[in-house]
Amino acid sequence: LTEGRSNAKAEDGFWAALILAYLNEKNRPYSAQDVFSNLQKQHGLGKTAVVKAMELLALEGKIKEKIYGKQKIYFADQAQFKDVNDADLKSMDHQISELSGEVQSLTQSCRQLDAGEIFC
């Protein structure tokens, strides 16, 4: 009986770590249903496990929880992320613009290759 409990706790810890990593990576608010829908196919999570893990993470202070009526929304604790100043934001915007132009150019080249317009 205690072995089953320790396995269940280990599994709960695994799901909680997975959900925490997901919320930190995406860094946007999600309901438990959203997280379940997004992770269920890839990891086979059950909805009860998702709700339980998210409530545990919120209780431990690893994520934040807001309640809107009957719905709970969970999101990464913003205190863990460094502040970004205006100069850094402008630099990132410039980098995004450059990379977007590069993607557009590569996409056009691929289309030309697919159409047989460019011969190697």
37 or 117, higher pLDDT: 37
5-55 pLDDT tens trace: 455 566 677 889 999 999 999 999 999 999 999 998 888 888 998 999 999
The secondary structure of residue 95, as a DSSP letter, is: H
Residue 1 scores a pLDDT above 70:
no
What pLDDT does 55 receive?
A: 93
Q: How many C-beta neighbours within 10 Å does residue 48 have?
A: 10
Percent of the chain residues topping a pLDDT of 70: 87
Q: What is the pLDDT at residue 5? A: 47
Contact present, 51 and 32 (Cβ < 8 Å): yes
Query: What pLDDT does residue 44 have?
Result: 83
Residues 6+ apart with CB under 8 A from 107: none
